[in-house]
């Protein structure tokens, strides 16, 4: 299957600082990327959807000025948590869908391939 | 309001037992996916079901999509400790929308 990577896997930062998380599709063209947030023992909550070259669409209740999303290329999207606070501590997961030949098989535009997640801890 | 209700939330069984996890909704989905997630990792896709009544098998795992495309089940036969993990169902509301709605997950523990 298609591979999606995230960096960093873990980050600890001080309150008030900004943190950038990268999401990369390694072997296919990601026309759409999604950012999720997962609290302990909870399910994934979609934060925003981004299409390459256009502004992200945020879900209701998600502050677009706090969670800046950039999808500048077909293989990279970034999520920047600005002025992070302890309540922003969470597990952030990206996913990507698109097209191309990955892992020996054709990827489907309808399938989301998930990254391994980034654990953010704000002190 | 949870769009996708998943049950049970927790399940602890002995190796060799069978189990079924359910995913129910009042909404119709164009497709439904099942994922497995390990602690500290992202979800890994197990299967996608698209057609009402569809049944897919993946070794000891059997997935079924309800006729009305509102519910789904995951049945595991002769569970093994390696099956331990968080199982998530996720539904796509509109064809081509790509947005997924996730259930809360079922935490499965298979004891040796």
pLDDT for A16-52, tens place per residue? Answer: 999 999 999 988 888 899 999 998 877 899 999 998 8
Token pair in block for residue B86: 């968080």
Pairing of strands B19-24, B71-76: antiparallel
How many contacts (CB atoms, under 8 Å) link A and B?
55
pLDDT value, residue A104: 55
pLDDT for A76-94, tens place per residue? Answer: 999 999 999 999 999 999 9
Which residue, among A5, A9, A10, A43, would best test binding to B if mutated, counting the most B CBs under 10 Å from its CB? A43
The verdict on a CB contact (< 8 Å) between A112 and B100 is: yes
What confidence category does residue A2 fall into, taking pLDDT thresholds of 50, 70 and 90? confident
pLDDT for B50-69, tens place per residue? Answer: 999 999 999 999 999 999 99
Q: Do B11 and B74 contact (CB within 8 A), yes or no?
A: no
**Distance from C-alpha of B34 to C-alpha of B41, rounded to nearest angstrom:** 16
The verdict on a CB contact (< 8 Å) between B42 and A110 is: no
């Amino acid at each position: 299957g298609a591979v999606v990577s995230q960096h960093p896997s873990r980050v600890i930062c001080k309150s008030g600082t900004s943190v950038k998380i990268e999401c990369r599709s390694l072997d296919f063209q990601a026309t759409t990327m999604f950012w999720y947030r997962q609290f302990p023992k909870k399910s994934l909550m979609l934060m925003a959807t981004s299409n390459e070259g256009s502004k992200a669409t945020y879900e209701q209740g998600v502050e677009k000025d706090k969670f800046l999303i950039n999808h500048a290329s077909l293989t990279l999207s970034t999520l920047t948590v600005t002025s992070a606070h302890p309540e922003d501590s969470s597990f952030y997961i990206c996913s990507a869908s698109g097209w191309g030949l990955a892992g020996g098989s054709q990827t489907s535009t309808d399938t989301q391939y998930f990254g391994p997640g980034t654990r953010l801890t704000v002190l | 309001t949870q769009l996708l209700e998943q049950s049970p939330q927790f399940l602890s069984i002995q190796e060799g037992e069978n189990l079924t996890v359910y995913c129910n909704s009042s909404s119709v989905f164009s497709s439904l996916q099942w994922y497995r997630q390990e602690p500290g990792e992202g979800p890994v896709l197990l299967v996608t079901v698209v057609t009402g009544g569809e049944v897919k098998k993946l070794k000891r795992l059997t997935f079924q999509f309800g006729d009305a495309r509102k519910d789904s089940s995951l049945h595991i036969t002769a569970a093994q400790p390696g099956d331990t993990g968080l199982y998530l169902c996720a539904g796509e509301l509109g064809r081509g929308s790509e947005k997924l709605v996730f259930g809360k997950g079922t935490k499965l523990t298979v004891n040796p």
